[in-house]
Structure formats: structure tokens, C-alpha cells
Amino acid sequence: MKQATWMLLSIALLLAVGVLTSCQKPFHEETERYIFVASNTSLPYWQESKAGFMDAARGLGVKAEFVGPETYSPQDELAAFEKAVSQHPAGIAVSPARPDVLKDAIDAAVKSGIPVICVDSDAPESHRILFVGTDNYQAGLISGKRIAELIHGQGQVAVITIPGQLNLDERVRGVTEALRKYPDVKISRTLDDKGDPRSANDQISSLIDAKEKIDGIVCVEASGGPGVAEALHRLNLGGKIPIVAMDKGPETLDFIAQGVIAATVSQKPYTMAFYGLRFLDDLHHNIVHEFKDWQTAPVPPLPTRVDTGTAVIDAGNLASFRAAEATRRQPL
């Protein structure tokens, strides 16, 4: 009899808890939505970033959208950002191709009450709340050191970049600083491929056709590596002029397997975007209670810079890296 009484009391208690829980306001509202504004979204790099952003959204039970131009176009990215602001989302993550182009729009969004964070590329002069991404100067140091070692400390190096993009400028600064330790290595060319592998291909092909001396090539943005590698492969120079690429797009990894690209400095776009959304969610809900809210706080309540790190991929670890990538849970 006592056992039956206790069972009835337990069931009643569970029902009461269920009723109370159902009456509580859900933490995330049904209309809560976050937007990521990226540049050059057709690149594999940004597809991986999108996967991280959408996975974080599913884990939190919020809506998310990933937008931006399919080619390198700072003005089109600005238009996408302004459209995102007009929709009044709970937060915006943005990777500014040109910080100077996005600064005023970022400031206006934050002033209107929309938390904005920078992911991958920063706009430090803006009022963005925080930055999540690679320490780009350190990534440049790694790239510079690796190319110097590959050409045995002497020779002419060409650098592929997009001048004016802050994260890439920082990488070039790191490459330049690393090469100061190798007085017999000189940067002979700095080429602007505008985020287009065809441009990198054409420019390197023209230099080689003109018999210009190139002993090594450093690409500090994702599309340059495959473009340069295709040019060298076509000219039967694959593996003869070392290439240090950036990021881990499928073509880049394929060229490492073929011996055309010597190494690539890989970032973590999935991780950046995943935690980017979580930081936005924390800001929106004022999870850190040090201050009343993020808008009136005298200093940002969250970390102002989060370095997600890098990894160097070459022929020695390519197989294990690909195996680990293959077992990663695929986005739903």
C-alpha cells in the first residue's frame, strides 16, 4: 500500500514539474535569428564556415542565415550587411573584406542595438564587440618560415594576396617579418589576385613566360594556392617551385597529394563560425552578468579577441588529416 502511495506521489510531482516547466518562457524566442555576412561565399573555406554557423544554430535551437557575395566584392558585401541590419536580427557576424568599407555600417548596427562581431577578418577601428579568428600575423610568420626553409634560405619569393584586406595584410606583415631572419631571401613580387584563382594562375604564368626568377611562392589567401598550383602543373614545374598555400580547400589538399603544393597553413573556419554564433547568442541574452547588458557596459563583457589557431598540412600529415575530416559529423 505504501509503495502504491509513493508511486502516486511521484507521478503527481512529475506532472507538477512538467506543468511549471511548460509555463516558463522559453530561453530562445521562436523569431530569434542570427546572420553571418561573408565575402566570396563560393569558396570552400566559406562553405565550411557556413557549416559551423548552422550547426551552432541547430544546437541552440535558433534560426540562422549565411549570406554574402559569391565573388570578392567589398561593395556587394556592404550591401548584404546593410540588408541584414534592415531585418533586425538578434545578432550579426561579419567577415569584412575591407574594414574601411564596412566600418560605418557596423557602427550604425551596434548603435541601433544589434550586436556585431567580426569573424575571420577584423574591423578593429569599428565598434564591433569582439573578434573571433586566426592570429593572422602569426599565420604569416609560419608561412614565411616554411617557404624560407623550403628554398634553403635563399632566393626570390612571390607573395599572392589581396592588398587592403586587413587579415591578409597582417599575414603579409608576418611573412615579411619571418624573412628578415633569412637575408638571402627576398620578396620580389607581391601580386593581387582579387580572390580569383584564375588571376593567380594568369599572373604567375606571365612571370614564368617572361623568364622571371621565382624560387618560391607564398599564398596568404585561399584561392591563390590552387590557381598558382594549376599554373605550375600545366607548365611542368609542379614540385620544382615550392608553394606554401593558405587554408584547406579540396583543390589545395589534392595538390599537396600530387606534390605540387608543399604545405598549407590551415585555419579553422568551422570553429570560428560555430563560436561566433554562440558569442552572439550570449550577447543577445546577456549571459555574462558583469554588467546590465552589452550595450551599456563600459567594456565588452566577453573576450575581445579569440584566436582559433592554425595547423600546417603537408605530405607528412595529409592522410591523417583527411581521415579525421572524413569522420567529422556532417551538418544536418
Which grid coordinates belong to 178?
619571418
pTM of the model: 0.81
Give the contacts of 308 (CB within 8 A, at least 6 positions apart).
Answer: 132, 133, 134, 267, 268, 271, 272, 275
pLDDT above 90: residue 202: yes
**Beta-carbon neighbour count of residue 212 at 10 Å?**
13
The predicted-structure confidence for 134-176, as pLDDT tens digits, reads as follows 999 999 999 999 999 999 999 999 999 999 888 999 999 999 9
- The CATH code for residues 33-134+268-308 is 3.40.50.2300
**pLDDT (tens digit per residue) in 49-72:** 999 999 999 999 999 999 999 998
Using the predicted structure, report yes or no on whether residue 27 has a pLDDT greater than 90: no
How far apart are the C-alpha atoms of 178 and 139, rounded to whole Å? 10
What residue ranges of the chain are covered by domains with CATH 3.40.50.2300? 33-134+268-308, 136-266
Q: Band of the pLDDT at 293, cuts 50, 70, 90?
A: confident
How large is the angle between the packed helices 224-234 and 197-209, nearest 10 degrees? 40
- Output the pLDDT for position 290: 87
pLDDT bin (cut points 50, 70, 90) of residue 108 is: very high
pLDDT at 11 over 60: no
For residue 18, pLDDT over 60 is answered with no
Kindly state the average pLDDT of the residues 294-300.
88
Q: Would you identify the CATH topology of the domain 136-266?
A: Rossmann fold (3.40.50)
Q: How confident is the model at residue 328 (pLDDT cuts 50, 70, 90)?
A: low
Q: Report the pLDDT value the prediction gives residue 210, as an integer from 0 to 100.
A: 96
* Residue 15 banded pLDDT, cuts 50, 70, 90: very low
User: What is the torsion angle, in degrees rounded to the nearest 10, for the CA atoms of residue 285, residue 288, residue 294 and residue 299?
Assistant: -170
What is the pLDDT of the chain when averaged over all its residues? 90
